[in-house]
């Protein structure tokens, strides 16, 4: 058995055993709850419940409106982004059309620039054939011309 007189300061709550402290605290809490019973356990009336419902509805509506506003802002940003993407697509089409036009111009320019050179080359080939025929006819009559043409490789 515990001898309370062994403690140095008799009657002090700090020195009481732990179990005694817990019982004392529980008794104090029960006394407080008993005194304020009506305040703690008050029943809600229908009017109070209706007021709470109205307050909750208003809060929910304000939050829904806030969320709707944020969704509208997000939709505007998405629409702006889509418009920018469409603008970039249009720019890409213009660039591709310009590239094809440039390729077409280069091909047309080469053809028109080479056409006179091709014509001149054809004329020179025709003249060369005529000169070779004339020299062969002369070589058939003159042996010196025939020997000269054989050395060059034309006969």
Domains in the chain: how many in total?
Answer: 2
The reply to whether 83 and 117 lie within a common domain is yes
The reply to whether 116 and 63 lie within a common domain is yes
The reply to whether 20 and 78 lie within a common domain is no
- pLDDT tens digits, one per residue of 112-124: 888 888 899 999 9
The reply to whether 27 and 57 lie within a common domain is no
Neighbours of 138 (CB within 10 A): 13
What range does the domain containing 124 cover? Answer: 43-152
- What tokens were used for 105? 């111009």
The reply to whether 119 and 62 lie within a common domain is yes
- pLDDT tens digits, one per residue of 25-82: 788 887 777 776 665 555 668 888 888 889 888 988 989 999 999 999 999 999 999 9
Q: How far is CA 80 from CA 24, 35, 76, 85, in A?
A: 70, 65, 6, 9
Q: How many residues does the chain have?
A: 155
- What tokens were used for 90? 């249009």
The reply to whether 115 and 55 lie within a common domain is yes
The reply to whether 78 and 14 lie within a common domain is no
């Amino acid at each position: 058995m515990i001898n309370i007189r062994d403690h140095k300061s008799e009657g002090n709550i700090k020195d009481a055993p732990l179990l005694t402290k817990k019982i004392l605290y529980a008794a104090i809490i029960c006394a407080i709850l008993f005194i304020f019973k009506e305040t703690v356990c008050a029943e809600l009336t229908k009017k109070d419940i209706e007021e709470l419902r109205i307050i909750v509805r208003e809060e929910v509506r304000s939050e829904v409106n806030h969320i709707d506003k944020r969704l509208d802002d997000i939709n505007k940003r998405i629409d702006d982004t889509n418009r920018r993407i469409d603008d970039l697509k249009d720019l890409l089409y213009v660039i591709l059309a310009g590239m094809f036009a440039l390729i077409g111009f280069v091909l047309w320019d080469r053809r028109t620039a080479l056409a006179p050179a091709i014509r001149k080359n054809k004329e020179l080939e025709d003249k060369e054939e005529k000169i070779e025929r004339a020299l062969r006819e002369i070589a058939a009559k003159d042996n010196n011309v025939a020997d000269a043409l054989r050395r060059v490789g034309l006969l």
